[in-house]
Amino acid sequence: MAEVGNDRSRGWGFDTRAIHAGQDPEPTTGAVTVPVFQTSTFAQEAVGKHSGYEYARTGNPTRTALQTALAALEDAAFGVSFASGLAAEDAILRLLEPGDHIVMGNDAYGGTFRLISKVFGRAGITWSAHDLTDPASLGRDWPNNTKMVWAETPTNPLLTVIDIAAVASVVAQHPEARLVVDNTFATPYLQQPLAHGADIVVHSTTKYIGGHSDVVGGFVATNESDVHDHLTFIQNAVGAVPGPWDCYLTLRGVKTLGVRMDRHCTNAAKLVELLSSHPKVTSVLWPGVATHPGHGAARKQMRDFGGMVSFQTGTRDAAMRVSEGTELFTLAESLGAVESLIEHPGAMTHLSAAGSPLEVPDDLVRLSVGIEDSADLMADLKQALDQL
């Protein structure tokens, strides 16, 4: 069944959409929250005569609600949910055919790099990594057969900002190619890539959208009906669908996305102040810093600068020691939840990019700044740095 953005929600502000788009009271019972439709199949009145749902891989009302809400948040006509961010990416990449080329940013989530290079590479898709902060050079060096450009902004873990409109205008010179933007770090609250010319937006909803470290999921938004048809076909034909409980948990997280993001951003700004003045920190990567190379683009396309902060410590050993030296910041992979996390990307989330053009510096530490009291977070990080 079609999973399209809710027309009624189009006039609403972001937080109203987050709470109400696709989430009307359930008509049979009046339940105010969208129920968990924990069923694998749906009764039919007569052969082929049914409520719009036949089998839960093909469609489930809890999933429809999630898809509608997230499409509304991206201001998109269509939204399709998947079992993980990588399953969502996989569905998009299946638009490509053997012999096609994909250009990816030279700074991106390691799992995305692994999927493109090790899975789609084996299926005959060629790839190259490009510095997408220089869109003009992409225009000059446009590789033959490029059908897709894949940008993450801000990037994981280096917080590089890519000017979406500038890259989109280069891609638009090649009507056979599409621009995909991974909006996981910014969320639709801070940035809506379709409005800046992207063709497809992808999320790991595991992160800020779910927001509570309790569910893995992925989502794709687009305004193109042929891309939507492809995605729903893959969703059903391949079957990497989120279960109803996962959809429910994600939808529950979505309701507070805006208020959480505001707090993530203000807490991050305070930690950046601390890091910027600490003698053991050699550089701080956060787009809110006026000297950050992407600060101008971030101001143009983002509402605020996000809750992810990376910093360098000069040596791998120091980065390891800080990562293991905090108490409130939990040493863990993933990001975007209410609790603060710390990690060493080179040895953890981005290990799969080692030795590639996407390898990350080994003295890098990444923070996912949570929504705890900022004073407690600052004290914790300071004590870990002071021990170096």
- Binding interface with ligand PLP (CB under 6 A): 84-86, 109, 111-112, 152, 156, 182, 184, 204, 206, 216, 218
Instruction: Give me 134's structure tokens.
Output: 């220089």
Q: Which of 14, 1, 13 is nearest to 65 (CA)?
A: 1
| Active-site annotation holder among 182, 199, 246, 363 | 182
Cis peptide before 157 (omega within 30 of 0): yes
| Active-site annotation holder among 109, 189, 208, 248 | 109
**Residues 6+ away with beta carbon under 8 Å from 270:** 374, 377, 378
57 as an active site residue: the answer is: yes
Give the angle 135-136-140 at the CA atoms, nearest 5°: 120
SS3 category, 381: helix
Of 6 and 112, the one with the shorter C-beta distance to ligand PLP is 112
Of 111 and 211, the one with the shorter C-beta distance to ligand PLP is 111
Long-range contacts of 352-357 (CB under 8 A, 24+ apart): 352/110, 352/111, 352/113, 352/114, 353/110, 353/113, 353/114, 356/113, 356/117, 356/129, 357/106, 357/129
Of 112 and 222, the one with the shorter C-beta distance to ligand PLP is 112
- Minimal distance, residue 382 CB to ligand PLP, in Å: 27
Of 9 and 112, the one with the shorter C-beta distance to ligand PLP is 112
| Active-site annotation holder among 57, 252, 263, 300 | 57
- Minimal distance, residue 28 CB to ligand PLP, in Å: 33
- Minimal distance, residue 183 CB to ligand PLP, in Å: 9
- Minimal distance, residue 25 CB to ligand PLP, in Å: 30
314: left (phi over 0), alpha (psi -120 to 50) or beta: left
- Minimal distance, residue 222 CB to ligand PLP, in Å: 17
Of 64 and 349, the one with the shorter C-beta distance to ligand PLP is 349
**Residues 6+ away with beta carbon under 8 Å from 173:** 139, 142
Q: Tell me which residue has its CB nearest to ligand PLP.
A: 85
182 as an active site residue: the answer is: yes
| Active-site annotation holder among 207, 260, 303, 366 | 207
What is the rounded distance in angstroms from the CA atom of residue 314 to the CA atom of residue 306?
A: 24
Give the helix, strand, coil percentages of the chain, each rounded to 5. Answer: 35, 15, 45
- SS3 labels along 224-242: CHHHHHHHHHHHHHHCCCC
Of 53 and 208, the one with the shorter C-beta distance to ligand PLP is 208
- Minimal distance, residue 88 CB to ligand PLP, in Å: 8
Please check whether residue 54 is in contact with residue 44, taking contact to mean a CB–CB distance below 8 angstroms: yes
Of 321 and 350, the one with the shorter C-beta distance to ligand PLP is 350
CB-based burial label for 175 (10 Å; 0-12, 13-18, 19+): exposed
109 as an active site residue: the answer is: yes
Q: For the CA atoms of 280, 285, 288, 294, what is the dihedral angle to 10 degrees?
A: 140
- Minimal distance, residue 85 CB to ligand PLP, in Å: 2
SS3 category, 218: strand
**Which are the catalytic amino acids?**
57, 109, 182, 207
